[in-house]
Structures are given as structure tokens and as C-alpha cells.
Amino acid sequence: MTLRRQIQFWLISLGIFCVFLFVFSGVLLPFVAGAAVAYLLDPVCDRLEKLGMGRLWATLTILFGFVFLLILFFILLLPVLGNQLALFLKYFPDLVRQLQTLINDQVGERLTTVAGIKLADLQSSMSDLVGQGAAFVGKLAQSIWSGGQALLSILSLFVITPVVAFYLLLDWDHMVEKIDAWLPRDHLFEIRELAREMDGAVAGFVRGQLSVCLLLGTFYAVALGIAGLNFGLLIGMGAGLVSFIPFVGAGLGLVVSIGVGLVQFWPDWPMILIIGGIFAAGQFLEGNILQPKLVGTSTGLHPVTLMFALFAFGYLFGFVGMLIAVPAAAMIGVLARFALKQYLASPVYTGTRPLRAAVPDETAPDAGPKE
């Protein structure tokens, strides 16, 4: 009976939390962003405290540095990325058209002879695919913009988020102690162990993968810029940003870069190979150096699980859902592994009947002639 009541309590709590997210998803973005900033910066604040700095001064120092870097990003880098994005969207139809013409001139007749595919049908399919992709991007941008409009103004995000982050970072240790005091005493050890596993999974993925994305984005952007690729900064930073999903960021960046490179450099094959080599080097750098050093293997998040979580939480709760998708997926993964461990140790799996040795049945008919 006690177990049933506990299950009912936690299910009701989960339902109330989901309803809360659904109802207030339009105004939660600055608070979720502030909580994420506080969670990311708490280890830095703890290190400054160990060096002898007070919690208040450590919090102020970290937040001022964070805001300064954010302002620097918006002043120096964001205008360049915005201009490249506007130009890319403006010339994207021409790029697709030139790429189709290039394919027609080079492999059109061979494709028709070998595969029996008419180039007109291929061009029509590519046009439909591009149109569908543009429509999807437009809907996604409209959804994000609508979520931002629900905040009354985009300025509130940059005003409220630092304030929320400041107070949460200042009182982080006290909040953890208070929540720990509310935990059920009978299950205190198990809940603390689960909380430590969740923190390790979320910290390992969010903090580590954020560093990986920034480093990869910088590498791709600088390398493509040195190679002279049009929109290289935009493509490189975009590929790095999506690199939290394994192989997806590099794959999309490679496809877009090769497409732009074919239009820009054809028939200069060495330049196109250099662009492909940049992404190969990025994958080597990510798989052999960045991922093992910064992320590790403690997250337990499969790429398919990660993509499903992003789509599912984004569908249910909008842009705020996409922000909490990765931490929520990591926590659910920890709970699922704990539940599986309990199941494998329970009588439901092991059974309650003792195993009996195989004894020949005297009453069974003979399987064959006796010697």
C-alpha cells in the first residue's frame, strides 16, 4: 500500500509539472535560460570560493564576465553571421539552380543512360525537396519567433535571464541543501545516488558537449574562411552548433559546403577536396580528442534517443521544450537504467520457484530401442 501511494504521489507530481510546463511555456524561456546559466557556471563559482573569494563576489565576477563575453559576441560576431545568413537565404535559389545546371552538364547523360533517370524528373524532385526544406525552416523560425514574442519583447530575455542566473547562482548551495532536507528519509541513499548520476550525465553532456560545439564551430569557421569558401563562417558555426547530435552537424555542414564549393570552385577539384578534408579533420578531432576529454562516456545518450527527445519536447512544449530536452533525456535515461537494475534483481525477473535438476521421467514413452 505504501509503495502504491508513493507511485501515485510521484505520478501526480510529474503530471502537475508537465501541465505547468505546457501552460506557462510561453513565459518560461528567460527563467529556464537563467537556470541553465547558473547550473553551467556553478562549478566555476565553487572553485573561486575555494580560492578564498566570497560567494557574492564570485557570483558577480562570473556573471559580469559571462555578460561581457555575450555582449562581445553580439557586437563582433552576430552582425557578420546575420549578414551571411541574409545573403545565403537570398542567393540560395540561385545556388540550387547553378548546382542543378552543373550536375546536368557533367553527369546528366550518364545518369540517364546508366540509371534510366531523366534529369528533368531529378530536377523536379530536387526543387520539391528544396521547397519542403525551406517551408520547414520557415515554420521552425516562425515557431521560435512566436515563442520569443510571448515574452512581450526580446529585450526581456537579456534583462531577466542575468537576474535569474544571479540569484540562482548565489543561492545554489542553499537550494540544494533545502531540497536534500525534503527528501524521504527511507530512500535518502537511493535518491542521492540517482541525483549524483543525473548530475554526472547532464554535466558531462551539457557542459562537455557545449565546449565541443564551440571548439568545432570555431575550427570549421576558421578553416572554411581560410579556404575562401563563401558563407564559410556561417556554415562552420552552424555545423558546430548542431554537432551535439553525433555526425548530424558534420554531415549537414559537409553537404552544404560541398554544394557551395562546387558552384564556387568548379572545376578546381583540389579546393573541393580541401573542403571535404576540413570536415574529415573535424570528425577526427571530435572523436579522438574532444569527445573523450570533454564529454566522456558517462552520459548514456544514444543519438536516436537524443533526436527523439528534441522532437518530442519541442512538439509538446515549444522552444522551451527543446532547451530542456537534453537534460530531461539524460535524467530519464538514469531513471530507466535504475528501474532496469531493480527489475533484474527482483523476483519478477529471477522467479520465485526453485530450479529443479533434470531427472528422467520413468513414465515417459521410450524415445528409441534399448540396447
What are the tens digits of pLDDT across the range 168-181? 888 888 888 888 88
Tell me, rounded to whole angstroms, the distance of Cα 160 from its chain centroid: 24
Q: What angle do CA 71, 317, 11 make, to 5 degrees?
A: 125
Residue 279 has pLDDT above 80, yes or no: yes
> pTM of this prediction?
0.67
Query: How many residues would you count in the chain?
Result: 371
Whether residue 216 contacts residue 239, with contact meaning beta carbons closer than 8 Å, is answered with yes
pLDDT at 46: 86
Answer whether residue 364 shows pLDDT above 60.
no
Local confidence band at 106 (pLDDT 50, 70, 90 cut-offs): low
Taking the CA atoms of 44, 49, 50 and 51 in sequence, report the sign of the dihedral they define: positive
Q: Give, in degrees to the nearest 5, the angle at Cα 128 between 145 and 130.
A: 50
**pLDDT category, 316, cuts 50, 70, 90?**
confident
- Between 26 and 328, the more confident residue is 328
Q: Which three cell numbers mark 68?
A: 561581457
Cell reading at 236: 562552420
Q: CB–CB of 118/112 below 8 Å?
A: yes
Least confident interval from 74-83, 131-140, 344-353: 131-140
For residue range 34-79, list pLDDT tens digits in order.
888 888 888 888 888 888 888 888 888 888 888 888 788 778 777 7
Q: What is the DSSP letter of 74?
A: I
Within 13 Å of residue 48, how many CA atoms lie on the same side as its CB?
18
Residue 149: predicted pLDDT = 47
Q: How far is CA 200 from the centre of its chain?
A: 16
Of 100-114, 137-151, 172-186, least confident by mean pLDDT is 137-151
Whether residue 143 contacts residue 318, with contact meaning beta carbons closer than 8 Å, is answered with yes
Q: Do the Cβ atoms of 217 and 243 come closer than 8 Å? A: yes
Give the integer Cα–Cα distance in Å for 125 and 20. Answer: 43
**Rounded Cα gap, residues 181 and 197, in angstroms:** 19
Confidence band for 121, pLDDT divided at 50, 70 and 90: low
Q: Report the alpha-carbon distance of residue 364 to residue 57 in Å, rounded.
A: 85
From start to end of 43-156, where are the E strands? none
Does pLDDT of 151 surpass 70? no
Distances (CA, A) of 50 to 27, 90, 169: 36, 52, 16
Flag whether pLDDT at 250 surpasses 60: yes
For range 183-206, the mean pLDDT = 80
For residues 62 and 55, what is the distance between their CA atoms, to the nearest angstrom? 11
Q: Percent of the chain at pLDDT above 90? A: 1
DSSP 229: -
Query: For residues 274 and 76, which has the higher predicted lDDT (pLDDT)?
Result: 274
